[in-house]
């Protein structure tokens, strides 16, 4: 454990963030798998519902958002469960670093590994669905605002299910309902843009949700980890 600026929030944040990112770069296969999953699921829909351009344009934003939701959800168990199983989480709790700092750092690293690749990839998927340039930009903006919120919500749920029986299904039951508002506003922004309305109310609501979530949810995740390690 490095001793850089131990005891401060930003020090703990940077330490955990760098550690988790290093770990995910050491196994780039997992991020690649997730991206492949995202593209694959998005490509299945035109095969399943039919490839009429108008239909695809209508369902495009929603499909891409559902894929982003599933991708964020699938990478959640790796967020805390590995560190919980091998005792690292307990070590971190005992370290001089403030807990909120390293928990936020881990959440940020999760977003870097799951949300950002999807946001960067979304314009290409949007082209597959024939979305126009304006809708495509708004969709990418909505994903950039929404995916960190997904990581925050998911982190709190993942921390709650640490050590539970049937943790995988339980995590789905807890996290997916909480993701619903993000999905509604995220897909709503792109939909409003494509139907000629202003997408800004949806984006503002996502932004407000992100601010509230960024303040409250790391603290909730901290409490959940403390409950798990008690």
Partner 1 sequence: MNFFYFASPSTFYRLAGILAPWCFAVAAILGAAGLYVGLVQAPTDAQQGEVYRVIFIHVPAAWMSMFLYFVMACYGAMSLTFNTRLAAMMARALAPTGAMFTFVALWTGAFWGRPTWGAYWVWDARLTSELVLLFLYFGFIALGNAFEDPRRGDRAAALLALIGVVNLPIIYFSVLWWNTLHQGSSVSFKGTSMHVSMLTGMLLMAFAFWSYSIGTALARVRTIILERERRTRWVRAL
Residue numbers of the site for partner 1 (CB under 8 A)? 156-157, 160-161, 163-167, 170, 173-174, 176-178, 180-181, 184, 217, 220, 223-224, 227-228, 230
Whole-number minimum distance, CB 165 to partner 1, in Å?
5
| CA-angle at 106, arms to 155 and 154, nearest 5° | 15
* Closest residue by Cα to residue 147 from 125, 115, 117, 178: 115
Spatial CB neighbours of 68, under 8 Å, sequence gap ≥ 6: 38, 115, 118, 122, 143, 146, 147, 150, 186
Whole-number minimum distance, CB 148 to partner 1, in Å?
17
C-beta closer to partner 1: residue 134 or 177: 177
The C-alpha atoms of residue 136 and residue 220 are separated, in whole angstroms, by 34
C-beta closer to partner 1: residue 36 or 180: 180
3-state helix, strand, coil split of the chain in percent (to 5) is 85, 0, 15
Q: For residue 155, what are its two tokens? A: 């982190």
Whole-number minimum distance, CB 99 to partner 1, in Å?
15
C-beta closer to partner 1: residue 38 or 73: 73
The C-alpha R_g of the chain, in whole angstroms, comes to 18
Whole-number minimum distance, CB 11 to partner 1, in Å?
27
Q: For residue 113, what are its two tokens? A: 């590994």
Whole-number minimum distance, CB 190 to partner 1, in Å?
17
C-beta closer to partner 1: residue 116 or 183: 183
C-beta closer to partner 1: residue 123 or 207: 207
Q: For residue 131, what are its two tokens? A: 């979305």
The C-alpha atoms of residue 103 and residue 117 are separated, in whole angstroms, by 21
C-beta closer to partner 1: residue 121 or 221: 221
Whole-number minimum distance, CB 178 to partner 1, in Å?
7
DSSP state for residue 74 in the 8-state scheme: H
């Amino acid at each position: 454990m490095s001793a850089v600026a131990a005891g401060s929030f930003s020090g703990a944040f940077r330490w955990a963030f760098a550690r988790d990112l290093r770990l995910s770069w050491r196994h780039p296969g997992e991020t690649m798998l997730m991206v492949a999953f995202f593209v694959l699921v998005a490509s299945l829909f035109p095969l399943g519902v039919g490839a009429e351009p108008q239909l695809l344009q209508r369902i495009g934003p929603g499909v891409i958002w559902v894929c982003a939701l599933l991708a964020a959800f699938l990478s959640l168990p790796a967020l805390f469960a590995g560190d919980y199983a091998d005792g690292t989480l307990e070590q971190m709790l005992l370290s001089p670093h403030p807990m909120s700092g390293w928990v936020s750092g881990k959440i940020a690293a999760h977003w870097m590994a799951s949300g950002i690749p999807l946001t960067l990839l979304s314009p290409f998927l949007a082209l597959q669905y024939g979305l126009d340039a304006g809708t495509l930009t708004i969709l990418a903006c909505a994903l950039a605002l929404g995916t960190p919120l997904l990581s925050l919500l998911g982190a709190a749920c993942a921390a709650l299910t640490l050590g539970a029986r049937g943790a995988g299904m339980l995590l789905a039951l807890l996290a997916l309902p909480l993701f619903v508002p993000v999905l509604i506003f995220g897909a709503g922004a792109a939909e409003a843009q494509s139907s000629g309305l202003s997408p800004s109310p949806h984006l503002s609501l996502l932004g407000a949700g992100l601010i509230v979530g960024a303040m409250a949810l790391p603290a909730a995740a901290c409490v959940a980890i403390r409950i798990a390690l008690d």
